[in-house]
């Protein structure tokens, strides 16, 4: 019964408000193109149905941003399961949220402090957490950025790519492995025989609050020769090809955008952009190779392009 009351209260608080004209927000920030559903919530102060938002049960670590302007709103550590049907937070990032009392003088609307986009409503006194506060937020009003993201790239011998990527600020780890082939759990010897279809690749884990995927891709192009086909320096063969293995449509778009920029600069880029499948971690002897050896790569150096 308590859950039903909470859901009913949320629906009333999100619906019985005076819509904010879209022009008011457009005056303060350049809006991207919104879907009808996004405009209904962000601009006209509507609400999505309970238990339908993609972040309601999201338990990943990261930060929630405003869908409209990208401002940081909430941290995952402040999110909790209130069972109300919408993402719930008992705290906000300092200065991120603006509050206004609804027309009835009872309910409190919450908006992005930067652009004024509608987020939801805030409630006190429900005793869900020690902070005794619930920001009831529409999933559609936010974008979630995980604390860690993955990029998988191939650009010649994985020793050099791994070594140089590990040096970049924001990169948490770089692991050598194999991807793009048909054989399960390939060995280094099998990949070297050029019979499995795999590329020597590196899985890069990075902190997107420090370095984003686009910059990782740019760095990848700066540490290898993307104009060489099926090889890198003296290392020749399809296992040494240049390739980006994307894990989302967004990564694909970014990779293709960076390649287009390189072509505009006059580079005859041979790099492929392929959906990531199984990444097989290489043998232990191939991990941290140059760090253990105490030398620098012989076929990978940094050349600033961007």
pLDDT of residue 201: 98
Q: Is the pLDDT reported for residue 1 higher than 60?
A: no
> How would you write 43-54 as a 3-class SS string?
HCCCCCCCCCCC
Q: Is the pLDDT reported for residue 22 higher than 90?
A: no
Percent of the chain with pLDDT over 90: 76
Contact status, residue 116 vs residue 24, Cβ threshold 8 Å? yes
Is 299 catalytic? The answer is no
Catalytic choice (10, 66, 157, 299): 157
User: Which of 28-37, 47-56, 67-76, 103-112 is predicted least confidently?
Assistant: 28-37
Provide the CATH number for the domain formed by 149-293 in this structure. Answer: 3.30.1060.10
Token couple for 242: 């240049």
178 vs 196: CA distance, rounded Å: 10
46 vs 13: CA distance, rounded Å: 10
Q: Is the pLDDT reported for residue 39 higher than 90?
A: yes
Listed in order, the ranges of the chain carrying CATH 2.170.150.20 are 2-146
User: Which has more confidence, 16 or 112?
Assistant: 112
Q: Is the pLDDT reported for residue 17 higher than 50?
A: no
- What is the pLDDT averaged over residues 64-72? 95
pLDDT of residue 103: 75
pLDDT band at 45 (very low <50, low <70, confident <90, very high): very high
Catalytic choice (10, 84, 136, 299): 136
DSSP letter string over 202-247?
EEEEE-TTTS-HHHHHHHHHHSS-TTSSSEETTEESGGG-EEEEES
Q: What share of the chain is helix, strand, coil (3-state, %, to 5)?
A: 25, 25, 45
Please determine, looking at this structure, whether the domain spanning 2-146 carries the CATH number 3.60.20.10: no
HSE (side-chain half, CA atoms, 13 Å) at 95: 2
Percent of the chain with pLDDT over 70: 90
Eight-state DSSP code of residue 122 = E
User: Which has more confidence, 180 or 26?
Assistant: 180
pLDDT digits (tens, 9 = 90+) for 164-184: 999 999 999 999 999 999 999
Query: What is the rounded (10 degree) CA torsion for 201, 206, 211, 215?
Result: 10
User: Which has more confidence, 227 or 27?
Assistant: 227
Listed in order, the ranges of the chain carrying CATH 3.30.1060.10 are 149-293
pLDDT of residue 29: 42
pLDDT digits (tens, 9 = 90+) for 282-305: 999 999 989 998 988 888 888 889
pLDDT of residue 32: 57
Is 157 catalytic? The answer is yes
Eight-state DSSP code of residue 282 = P
Per the prediction, the chain carries an average pLDDT of: 89
Q: How many residues does the chain have?
A: 306
pLDDT digits (tens, 9 = 90+) for 219-260: 999 999 999 999 998 899 999 999 999 999 999 999 999 999
pLDDT of residue 295: 86
Which pTM was predicted?
Answer: 0.62
pLDDT of residue 106: 86
pLDDT of residue 260: 97
DSSP letter string over 149-189?
EEEEEEES-HHHHHHHHHTSTTEEEEEEEEES-SSSS--HH
Check residue 133 and give left, alpha or beta (phi > 0: left; psi -120 to 50: alpha): beta
pLDDT digits (tens, 9 = 90+) for 127-140: 999 999 999 999 99
Q: Is the pLDDT reported for residue 4 higher than 50?
A: no
């Amino acid at each position: 019964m308590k859950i039903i009351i909470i859901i009913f209260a949320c629906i009333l608080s999100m619906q019985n408000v005076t819509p904010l004209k879209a022009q008011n927000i457009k005056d303060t920030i350049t809006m991207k193109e919104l879907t009808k559903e996004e405009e209904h919530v962000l601009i006209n102060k509507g609400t999505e149905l309970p238990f339908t938002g993609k972040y309601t049960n999201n338990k990943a670590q990261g930060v929630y941003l405003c869908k409209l302007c990208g401002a940081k709103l909430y941290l995952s550590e402040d999110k909790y399961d209130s069972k109300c049907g919408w993402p719930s937070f008992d705290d906000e990032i300092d200065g991120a949220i603006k509050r206004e009392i609804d027309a009835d003088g009872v309910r409190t609307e919450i908006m992005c402090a930067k652009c004024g986009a509608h987020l939801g409503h805030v409630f006190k006194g429900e005793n869900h957490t020690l902070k005794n506060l619930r920001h009831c937020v529409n999933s559609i009003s936010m974008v979630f950025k995980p604390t860690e993201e993955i990029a998988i790239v191939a650009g010649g011998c994985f020793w050099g790519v791994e070594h140089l990527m590990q040096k970049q600020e924001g990169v948490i780890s770089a692991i050598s492995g194999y991807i793009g082939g048909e054989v399960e759990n390939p060995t280094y010897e099998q990949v070297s025989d050029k019979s499995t279809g795999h590329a020597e690749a590196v899985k890069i884990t990075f902190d997107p609050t420090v370095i984003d995927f686009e910059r990782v891709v740019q760095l990848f192009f700066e540490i290898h020769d993307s104009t060489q086909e099926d090889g890198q320096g003296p290392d020749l063969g399809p296992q040494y090809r240049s390739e980006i293995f994307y894990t989302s449509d967004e990564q694909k778009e970014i990779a293709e955008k960076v390649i287009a920029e390189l072509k505009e600069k006059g580079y005859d880029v041979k790099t492929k952009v392929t959906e990531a499948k199984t990444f097989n971690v290489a043998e232990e002897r191939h991990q941290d190779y140059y760090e253990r050896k105490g030398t620098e790569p012989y076929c990978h150096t940094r050349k600033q392009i961007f």
